[in-house]
Amino acid sequence: MLSQGGGGPLPPTPPAAGKSGGGRRKALVAGGVVGILALGGGAFAAYSWFSGTGPQPAEALPANTLGYLSLDLDPSGSQKIEAYNTLKKFPAIEQIFDEEGVEEGTDLRRKLLEEALAEDEECSLDYDEDIEPWLGERFAVAAISQGEDEDPAPVFVVQVSDGGAAEETFEKLNECSGDSGGAGWAIDDEWALVAETSEIAESAAEGAAEESLADDADFQKWTSAAGDAGIVQGYASPDVGKELADELAGLASMGSSMAEIPSAAEVSPAPTGDISECFELDPVAQSEEFQACIEAAEGAGATPEPTVPGLPEPDADAIAAIFEDFQGGAMNIRFADGSLEVEVAADGNLGKQYGLSPSEEGGAAVAALPADTMVAFGAGFEDGWGQSLIDYYSAFLGEEFDLEGQIEALESQTGLAIPEDVEALLGDSIAVGVSADIDFEGMSGPADAPVGARITGDPEETQRVLDKLLEQDPTGMVGEFLGTDSEGDVLAISPNEGYREELLGDGGLGDNEVYQDVVREDAASVFFVNFDAGDGVLDNLLESAGAPGEVRENAEPLSGLGFTGWLDDDDVAHSVFRMTTD
């Protein structure tokens, strides 16, 4: 880089005989240093643009923020590139880019605020004059704790480039609000905090100056656990659990008191009589005897006695115990590899304290479905999960709710032992699949439907429970849908014999490119849709639903979508929703 002339090497260094030669040498060295620094600075700037996200609203909020949801319209350079490359595949958005240019076409601030200003006839604010000069690219809404005796306060955060101009606009807005009182704010050169009162906003700003949400250890832990940041970020602090427990306890008391309120018919004068005998005369068929009985009863002044079913009173202490140990959670929405991705990380101990631990077998079960699977769902189960689920939900129902009686009634109706038979029925894992070969219009019966379930565990036990269910169907119609075959530890259920054979083998869905692009590894539960599995699958579905041509055209770039959930070794529950494009 430090060559001269036509690119040849530097000549030998002349003797240090004169002042001019030394000065020239120093100039060359200095120029080289400056050049290196310039190149390094440019590389650093490029890297910062590509990977950096700039200041975020979390820096303007106090560490005691309970909940937080932010929107970043100026994300990192990599995120901008991903967003542009993804969105440009959709004709409607590509047209905006081509006609208006990327910068103007993606200015959501203008598009949203100009519509809002046009609807507000009381204010004569102009976007270009009153808002655009100071409005930044990052926004957030948060709930700030105000102590045990006060409800959390909502606070809005807006990035500003000119605090003075922003304050002038807020004052105009307050003047427009008239008797409604307007809002309060606290503004510096970078952020504006808007709340119900100036006291709340200023208190939040002072708290952020002492310790910001961005510096809070819980915030850093959970937002990091939710993966790379993107355009939207959400956060729930550990204190949210306590707030939620208190709210649920209050609702429980309210529900209990409402259950004791009599209906209007019970408190107002009304003719009484027994009309219930009429309903023993087959009301479904509406026979002549039934109609005559009703008319006679009404002629005698009889009316059906209204009843208000009592609501079970939830156990407030049990509910509080479930949520009070909540450790927090976070969410990131981003563009990645031609897809839109939503990742959530949260405390995985809520269900685990009742034995509800997800099994990684769910993902393995779905991956073994046939490679041409269009829609799939799968889940894995730990031993004793059925009883754990009953224990978990019984805490919400309270002691007065006769859960055992309800289970006994269900056992009587189905002939099943609950939860033992339900656990045996679903095995260690279950995967349900729909083949892309399905022909909804050409099917003449259930046997033509390539739809079924792949259950891994003890096939004999699963078949035993299925036989119990079939005994409850004297018509035999259910049996047409529950044809079974087994091999090893796998039992296949499908009305289609050929599809049952496919289910018994390792069909190779896990090797499908769309599946690999959508589903995370080691999943406990999976939902997957492959829009590329069949010829025009998505277009046919949209057409049958009556979707206009424009919608169908913009859905064409979609290749797959999926939901994956798992629990890691640190008891953090992860879930990822991912929609991919071709």
Is pLDDT of 41 > 60? no
Could you report the per-residue pLDDT of 173-218, keeping only the tens digit for each? Answer: 888 776 556 789 999 889 999 999 999 999 999 999 999 999 999 9
Query: How does residue 3 score in pLDDT terms, banded at 50, 70 and 90?
Result: very low
Q: Is the model's pLDDT at 551 over the cut of 80?
A: yes
Q: What is the pLDDT of residues 339-372, one digit of tens each?
A: 999 999 998 876 665 555 667 788 889 999 999 9
Please state, in angstroms and rounded to a whole number, the distance separating the CA atoms of residues 492 and 459: 9
Confidence at residue 351, expressed as pLDDT on a 0 to 100 scale: 62
Question: In the prediction, which pLDDT does 262 show?
Answer: 40
Residue 110, CA distances (Å) to 58, 104, 125, 168, 174 in order: 24, 9, 13, 19, 21
What does pTM read for this prediction?
0.76
* Residues 389, 356 contacting (CB under 8 angstroms): yes
Q: What is the CA radius of gyration of the chain?
A: 33
Task: Give the CA distances from residue 413 to residues 68, 128, 383, in Å, rounded to whole numbers and listed in that order.
Answer: 47, 68, 25
- Dihedral angle over CA of 395, 401, 402, 406, nearest 10: -80
Query: For position 309, what pLDDT does the model report?
Result: 42
Q: Is the CB of residue 424 less than 8 Å from the CB of residue 462?
A: yes
* More reliable by pLDDT, 449 or 51: 449
Window from 252-256, 307-311, 491-495 with minimum mean pLDDT = 307-311
C-beta neighbour count of 415 within 10 angstroms: 14
The confidence score (pLDDT) of residue 293 equals 76
Helices (H), ranges, 52-101 = 77-87, 91-100
Mean of the pLDDT values across residues 132-144? 93
Cβ–Cβ contacts within 10 Å for residue 520, how many?
18
- Length in residues, the chain: 582
Q: What is the pLDDT of residues 428-480, one digit of tens each?
A: 999 999 998 888 777 788 888 899 999 999 999 999 999 988 888 777 778 88
Per residue in 320-331, pLDDT tens? Answer: 666 777 899 999
Per-residue pLDDT, 242: 78
Listed in sequence order, the residues at least 6 apart from 442 whose beta carbon sits closer than 8 Å to its beta carbon are: 448
Is pLDDT above 50 for 78? yes
In angstroms, the Cα distances linking 491 to 432, 446, 463, 579 are 12, 19, 8, 31
Domain segments of the chain as ranges: 57-238, 349-581
Residue 540: pLDDT band with limits 50, 70, 90: confident
Percentage of the chain with pLDDT > 90? 37
Task: Return phi, psi of residue 453, to 5°.
Answer: -130, 145
The pLDDT value recorded for residue 247 is 67
pLDDT, residue 402, reads: 78
